[in-house]
Amino acid sequence: MFAELDRPPLDPTALTEALTRGATVWRDVRLLETAPSTNVVAAEAARAGAGEGLVVVADHQTAGRGRLDRAWTTPPGTALTFSLVLAPDGVPLRRWPWLPLLTGIAVAEGVRRATGVEAVLKWPNDVLVEDPSTGSGQGRKLAGILVERVERPAGAVAVVGIGINVGARAEELPVPTATSLLLEGAEGRAPDRTVVLREVLRTLEALYLQWHAEQGDPARGLHASYVRRCASLGREVHVELPDGSTFSGRAEAVDADGALVVTSGTDRRTFHAGDVVHARRSR
């Protein structure tokens, strides 16, 4: 009974009202009690004809995926797991890699607005909460993002998957480097998941519409906004590549394509998110 009171299920009527009222992008909200992966459900719906504005939310996701097919699982009622269908027609494909970075900004800002928890970004799009008392520059992961391009006869769409740890207790977290809004909040209780989702999607809608209107040009403000929140910059990072090689150096910049520029002595390299297994801060 305690668990039921502490972790109430999402209400489909309240969720639809909260997400669609006043929205210009979000039109179709589908709440599932359980789903293996909301990205899979959203991608299948997009291939079947669902257009921009679909929001698929799972009250409990049983087989979620992160970047590079890493597993992402949470206990029932403790997380926000949802996926969105976006169709950025008119945005050149070379600028689509900015969409996951934009989403990271939206999650960090939406969480701040809903809960007051200050979050930062680890390149490219992990959302972290830093502990300034440690002095290590390390952060605890609060949320992850996975963006996938789905081809279809009517044109390609982006499926944006987001997972936010909301009510997980310390013993329920998958790794010691993770955290939740419950653990980071000042009130000692988990925030309302509907409120957090509403604020994240409102923020994402505003950023996405501006990015779309500017044809994805990051120089119109998106690049600067991301750099302000990127905790990777100016720190030593360790980059692991798919071929098993590694590169360590100082993260100097995020370039116009959203790639991470890392230098080690006179060696300067540029890494794209799709080519990197893991870019973490060196201890």
CATH number for position 257:
2.30.30.100
Let me know whether 221 and 264 are in one domain.
no
The per-residue pLDDT for 136 is 46
What is the full DSSP assignment across 218-239? GGGTHHHHHHHHBTTTTSEEEE
> Within this chain, do residues 239 and 211 fall inside the same structural domain, yes or no?
no
| Euclidean distance between CA atoms 30 and 58, whole angstroms | 8
**Model pLDDT for residues 198-209, shown as the tens digit of each residue:** 999 999 999 999
Does residue 145 register a pLDDT over 90? Answer: yes
- CATH number for the domain spanning 33: value is 3.30.930.10
Length of the chain: 283
**C-alpha span between 251 and 268 (Å, rounded):** 10
Higher pLDDT, residue 30 or 283: 30
Confidence band, pLDDT 50/70/90 cuts, at residue 40? very high
Q: What angle do CA 194, 100, 247 make, to 5 degrees?
A: 130
Return the minimum-mean-pLDDT range out of 131-135, 143-147, 244-248: 131-135
Residues 256 and 241 in one domain: yes
Q: Based on the fold, state whether residues 176 and 159 are members of the same structural domain.
A: yes
**Residue 11 shares a structural domain with residue 144:** yes
Categorize the per-residue pLDDT at 188 as very low, low, confident or very high, splitting at 50, 70 and 90: confident
Percentage of the chain exceeding pLDDT 90: 76
Same domain, 134 and 242: no
In this predicted structure, the answer to whether residue 214 has a pLDDT above a threshold of 90 is yes
- Pick the last residue of a domain from 181, 198, 227: 227
92 and 201 assigned to the same domain = yes
> Domain range holding 151?
2-227
Shared domain for 103 and 51, answered yes or no, is yes
- As for how many domains the chain has, the answer is 2
pLDDT, residue 148, reads: 95
- Point out the domain boundary residue: 209, 227, 245: 227
Question: How open is the CA angle 215-111-96, to the nearest 5 degrees?
Answer: 20
**Do 188 and 258 have their domain in common?**
no
Q: What is the mean pLDDT of the chain?
A: 89
SS3 163: strand
* Cis check: omega of the bond before 124, within 30 degrees of 0: yes
Quote the pLDDT of residue 174: 82
Which residues lie closer than 8 Å to 5 by C-beta, 6 or more apart? Answer: none
Same domain, 197 and 258: no
Q: Give the pLDDT mean for 255-268.
A: 96
pLDDT (mean) for 266-277: 87
| 225, two tokens | 């906004």
Torsion of CA 276, 278, 279, 281, to 10 degrees: -170
Q: Which of these three, 183, 201, 227, is where a domain ends? A: 227
Which of 24-33, 256-265, 272-281 bottoms out in mean pLDDT, i.e. has the lowest? Answer: 272-281
Do residue 217 and residue 263 come from a single domain?
Answer: no
Q: Verify that 23 and 46 share a domain, yes or no.
A: yes
pLDDT over 50 at 85, yes or no = yes
Q: pLDDT category, 89, cuts 50, 70, 90?
A: very high
pLDDT mean over 72-93? 89
Per residue in 8-17, pLDDT (tens digit) is 889 999 999 9
Choose between 183 and 68: higher pLDDT.
Answer: 183
- The pTM for the full model equals 0.92
pLDDT by residue (tens digit) across 113-142? 999 999 999 999 899 998 765 544 568 999
**Mean pLDDT in residue range 236-251:** 91
